[in-house]
Chain A
Amino acid sequence: MATLEDSFLADLDELSDNEAELDENDGDDGKEEEDIDMDMADLESLNYDDLDTVSKLQKSQRYIDIMQKVEEALGKDSDGAEKGIVLEDDPEYKLIVDCNQLSVDIENEIAIVHSFIRDKYKLKFQELESLVHHPIDYARVVKKIGNETDLTLVDLEGLLPSAIIMVVSVTALTTKGSPLPEDVLQKVLEACDRALDLDSARKKVFDFVESKMGSIAPNLSAIVGSAVAAKLMGTAGGLSALAKMPACNVQVLGHKRKNLAGFSSATSQTRVGYLEQTEIFQSTPPGLRARASRLVAAKSTLAARVDATRGDPLGKNGKALREEIRKKIEKWQEPPPARQPKPLPVPDSEPKKRRGGRRLRKMKERYAVTDMRKLANRMAFGTPEESSLGDGLGEGYGMLGQAGSNRLRVSSVPSKLKINAKVAKKLKERQYAGGATTSGLTSSLAFTPVQGIELCNPQQALGLGSGTQSTYFSESGTFSKLKKI
């Protein structure tokens, strides 16, 4: 569009700050939808002398149109809701959408004017900017103080809380600033007026939207309140857009990333946007706020969906949802039920829990079967086993001490254990039979007086008798096992 191109060219010209171009700028103000571009251009220019180069919104056509409509609508009473019309076609709805956009723009504008005032007023009273943060309050205070040096003559009651007034007065005594020249002062006051005008305009728009919100989106406003509902709708870009969003997105609509560099982000609330301003959220205790925000976001999304389809024009659904939310939050705050004393468990009903672990394994190792024992238990096939007392008596050695294995040796230390009576007898027999210690002069022949030569068993003399005689069936044998009853 030709006008747009012209306005862009005009922006480029404005970058060089020239008083002569002021008149041209006034003429340019009749353009639409350029506020944002122009603001960006203005921010880039560092020195500007005039307010109008900075803030153009009030002069723009769009602004004037919408404000006019708002005034009209505020003036007349709302006519009966036309249920037949699709929401998007309703002229009131369109106005609401425009108003939302405009309110955002007005806020930006106020910020710009505030920085303008601040820059000019720095020469007079530098510290005021850090003491009074809110732009509108700052504008009011500046207007009140004007060019005064002595703050005791200035009455700041009602503008600021008394603590801040005190601080401001004290700081004013030590400020380095000097009174402003007349024309600068004029400009500053003009800017303050502009800021206050913008603020009141914003309020008007706001009130209008709030009043209409009840008919546009009754259910949503029943839950979150009309102010927040208007904001949500504005940021989402319409009611149907809001309805299409998932609840997690609705939860963070309007979240401002306020983390200044170097400041901790631990205290800033995560993931809460406009919903932070709802009454429900403010009245929940801080510990439950995260859960509450999720709950409210979910239910308000449902309400928005109902409203988008105009399913419930009276807002009953919304009220029911709000009641539900309230009940849930109350339930979360209930104390837990008191502890009942537990009865003892039935004896021997739970088997003993055997624990495992390294310690237990180490303890068990002390009683485990050793390698030596394992080898002794094993036997070679086909070869008779060696034993401690030899010939099958005593402990068997198994694979222990075999030629092949060079690990374990068997030493011939005599065992200190007591030998069984039977085993002892056998040993003696063997010893006698196999021993090389029998004197060569002894003979097996015995000379008896009666029968002459008699061949008798020499072992019998020793009491070893015939090995074949069994002890079990012997008549002279005693009881082998006696048990005391």
Chain B
Amino acid sequence: MSSYLLKTLTKKEEIDRIIRDTIDEVLVLRFGRCTDAVCLHHDDILAKSATDVSKFAKIALVDVDSEDVQVYVKYFDITLFPSTIFFFNAHHMKLDSGTADHTKWVGAFHIKQDFIDVVEEIYRGAMKGKMIVQCPVPPERIPKYQLLYKDV
């Protein structure tokens, strides 16, 4: 639904290009399916805040069903959808939100303001030179999940 507002990437070259070309802006890549309900909620929030953060962030959607993209899915170890990965100047930014996995944000944001806070925090940390930032979202609004490591 919001795919006409946000760019959807299907090819590996596109993803590469966008990661390379986003300079001095946070790049938000959402990995997910556009049919999933949670993804839709997430996409809605992303689309609504796209203009607000447009000065310091860029948002793109990656369709996880296409073939090219599976490389990235494996690289980032994406199993649950939607997953959001943040980049800044081609560096992968980590987010400590109290969950097990710091490399990505799993699940949908509850409200638009949460997403904007996260992006701002990442921007501030990145401008200072940090590779990992603390998540400003209060823990009740962080989606919980369980990581299974080799089905353990």
Binding site for B on A (CB under 8 A): 341, 343-348
Contacts and interface: CB of A to CB of B under 8 A. Distances in A.
A346 B25 CA distance: 10
Nearest to A348: B124
B53 interface: yes
A343 B52 contact: yes
A343 B124 contact: no
B51 A347 contact: no
Given A347-B124, A348-B127, A341 B51 contact: yes
14 contacts: A341-B52, A343-B53, A343-B54, A344-B52, A344-B53, A344-B55, A344-B56, A344-B116, A344-B120, A346-B55, A346-B123, A347-B56, A348-B124, A348-B127
- The secondary structure that dominates the B interface is loop
Interface residues of B, number: 11
A344 B116 CA distance: 9
Interface string B13-39: 000000000000000000000000000
Contact of A343 (B55, B120, B123): B55
A226 to B, nearest CB: 57
Nearest to B122: A347
A341 B54 CA distance: 11
Contacts of B56: 344, 346-347
Contacts of B123: 346-347
Nearest to A340: B51
A341 to B, nearest CB: 6
Contacts of B116: 344
A86 B36 CA distance: 88
Contacts of A345: 55
A344 B56 CA distance: 9
Chain A interface helix/strand/loop/mixed: loop
Contacts of A346: 55-56, 123
A84 B51 CA distance: 69
Nearest to B54: A343
B102 to A, nearest CB: 21
Nearest to A344: B52
A346 B123 CA distance: 9
Nearest first, the 3 closest Cβ-Cβ pairs linking A and B are A346-B56, A343-B54, A347-B120
Nearest to A341: B51
A343 to B, nearest CB: 5
A390 to B, nearest CB: 51
Given A344-B53, A346-B123, A348-B124, 17 more contacts: A341-B51, A341-B52, A343-B52, A343-B53, A343-B54, A343-B55, A344-B52, A344-B56, A344-B116, A344-B120, A345-B55, A346-B56, A347-B56, A347-B120, A347-B123, A347-B124, A348-B127
A343 B127 contact: no
A346 B120 CA distance: 8
A343 B55 CA distance: 7
Contacts of B52: 341, 343-344
A348 B55 CA distance: 12
Contacts of B120: 344, 347
Interface centre among A341, A347, A348 (most CB of B within 10 A): A347
Nearest to B120: A347
B75 to A, nearest CB: 29
Contacts of A343: 51-55
Contacts of A348: 124, 127
Nearest to A347: B120
A341 B48 CA distance: 11
A366 to B, nearest CB: 32
Contacts of B53: 343-344
A347 B25 CA distance: 11
Interface string B119-137: 0100110010000000000
A340 to B, nearest CB: 9
A396 B120 CA distance: 51
B119 to A, nearest CB: 9
Contacts of A344: 52-53, 55-56, 116, 120
B104 to A, nearest CB: 21
A452 B132 CA distance: 77
B95 to A, nearest CB: 15
Nearest to B127: A348
Interface in B37-85: 51-56
Contacts of B124: 347-348
A320 to B, nearest CB: 44
Nearest to B24: A346
